[in-house]
Amino acid sequence: MTGVARNRVLDWIKTNLFSSPFNIVLTFLLLFVATKLLWNFLDWAVLRAVWGGDAETCRHGAGGACWAYVRDKARYVLFGHYPYEQQWRPQLFVAIFFLLSLLTQFKRFWSKYLTAAWVVLPLGAAGLMWGGFFGLTHVEMEEWGGLPLTLALAFLGISASYPIGIVLALARRSEMPVIRALSVIYIEVIRGVPLISMLFMAAVMFPLFLPEGITISKVVRAQVAIIMFASAYMAEVVRGGLQSLAKGQYEAADAIGLSYTKKMVFVVLPQALKAVIAPTVNTFIGLFKDTSLVFIISLSDLMFTTQASLQDADWLGFTVEGYIFAAFVYFVFCYFISFSSSRLEKELKV
């Protein structure tokens, strides 16, 4: 730090933190509280923590966090009941998503191959998890769980609700009253209902309406409920983008004779969607975390496996550590989405 810069910092501290007796007292008080809280947390999470061993080691430890628990349970929390020695398959599944999202952040990789990869690779990875070929054992879907399930629910949720949301937003601005009304009713009804109640309906009520002999797996029903839910929110985000566009853009597109579809594809949507990247990502992150609600209809997503791991009779009483780990995993993914979006905004020069 140069002398000038140091002076500036000192000046800032003086004028903002120590300008009056009251401010001096307040500064020290807050400093004390913050330090104390941080210290207590570090003391618990690091200094007195137990890093290895089993539950007994933790119970006889210094009363800090029991990371041994996370060490023992992480594989179960992340990959559920998937056969332990076969877990390289879900690991590959997660790695493929990570790799694809990473590549997508760079405009120079954007091509039809990348789009194709986004379709083919996740499908291939899912096929790999399913198994039954090349000597791979078949693993029932009921045994899939943890992170791959959360990722799949979120990925399919995002990639389906985005286009559906766009269609709903366009419908809501349609000149045809029936189309407009249908869209408004859909959006308002869905937005007026909590996701949990929709998941319950999908899990419990929906099968009652199916003809006898036909069953749809619970994962699929939950996935559809999530997509329906997220689409309504997405629609309102896209509508905001459509409204931000000057009327002249629509008129110029009309004036050169573009049909409705071409006008939307080439003129309106590229601008409207770009304008709402930030709220779009906001919705995506919300959707990612909302998938955790499926644990309530006993789908074994990350939240479900976290809770299940807490029921282990050998490891009772380490709830906080379990939830901190789950929160950490969710945070990593949400932060990654958020980081990707700010990169995307830079690439597109918003």
Partner 1 sequence: MQQELKKAAVAKGDVARQPNQLSDEIAVKISGLHKWFAGFHALQGISLSVRKGETVVVCGPSGSGKSTLIRCINRLEVHDKGRITVGGTLLSNDIRAIERVRADVGMVFQQFNLFPHLNVLSNLTLGPIWVKKTPRAKAEQTALANLKRVRIEEQAYKYPSQLSGGQQQRVAIARSLCMNPSLLLFDEPTSALDPEMIKEVLEVMTELSHEGITMIVVTHEMNFANMVADRVIFMDEGQIIEENTPEEFFANPQHERSKLFLSQIL
> Which one of residues 262, 278, 320, 346 is an interface residue with partner 1 (CB under 8 A)?
262
Q: Does 41 help bind partner 1 (rule: CB under 8 A)? A: no
Shortest spacing between CB 267 and partner 1, in angstroms: 6
CA distance 307 to 77: 9
With tokens 């690991």, the residue in question is 91
Q: Does 23 help bind partner 1 (rule: CB under 8 A)? A: no
- For partner 1, the closer of residues 1 and 246 by Cβ is 246
Contact between 43 and 64 (Cβ < 8 Å): yes
Q: What are phi and psi of 48, to 5 degrees?
A: -95, 5
Site size toward partner 1 (CB under 8 A) is 18
Q: Does 36 help bind partner 1 (rule: CB under 8 A)? A: no
Tokens of 206: 């929906």
> Which one of residues 1, 4, 257, 313 is an interface residue with partner 1 (CB under 8 A)?
257
> Which one of residues 243, 259, 298, 319 is an interface residue with partner 1 (CB under 8 A)?
259
Residue type, 135: G
Q: Does 174 help bind partner 1 (rule: CB under 8 A)? A: no
> Which one of residues 208, 214, 256, 332 is an interface residue with partner 1 (CB under 8 A)?
256
DSSP 136: P
SS3 of residue 235 by DSSP? helix
CA distance 72 to 81: 14
- For partner 1, the closer of residues 174 and 271 by Cβ is 271
Contact between 278 and 345 (Cβ < 8 Å): yes
Contact between 147 and 291 (Cβ < 8 Å): no
- For partner 1, the closer of residues 108 and 349 by Cβ is 349
Distances (CA, A) of 34 to 24, 29, 37, 38, 260: 15, 9, 5, 6, 58
Shortest spacing between CB 164 and partner 1, in angstroms: 24
Distances (CA, A) of 50 to 31, 172, 234, 325: 29, 56, 44, 15
- For partner 1, the closer of residues 212 and 251 by Cβ is 251
Q: Which stretch binds partner 1 (CB under 8 A): 22-30, 152-160, 188-196, 260-268?
A: 260-268
Q: What are phi and psi of 176, to 5 degrees?
A: -90, 115
Nearest one of 126, 128, 94, 99 to 329, comparing CA atoms: 94
Q: Does 75 help bind partner 1 (rule: CB under 8 A)? A: no
Residues from 266 through 285 that contact partner 1 (CB under 8 A): 266-267, 270-271, 274
Shortest spacing between CB 26 and partner 1, in angstroms: 48
Map residues 222-251 to x or -, x wherever contact with partner 1 holds by CB under 8 A: ------------------------x-xx-x
Tokens of 59: 């119970």
Q: Does 258 help bind partner 1 (rule: CB under 8 A)? A: yes
- For partner 1, the closer of residues 27 and 271 by Cβ is 271
Q: Does 350 help bind partner 1 (rule: CB under 8 A)? A: no
Q: What are phi and psi of 123, to 5 degrees?
A: -65, -45
Q: Does 175 help bind partner 1 (rule: CB under 8 A)? A: no
Q: What is the contact surface with partner 1 in residues (CB under 8 A)?
A: 246, 248-249, 251-259, 262, 266-267, 270-271, 274
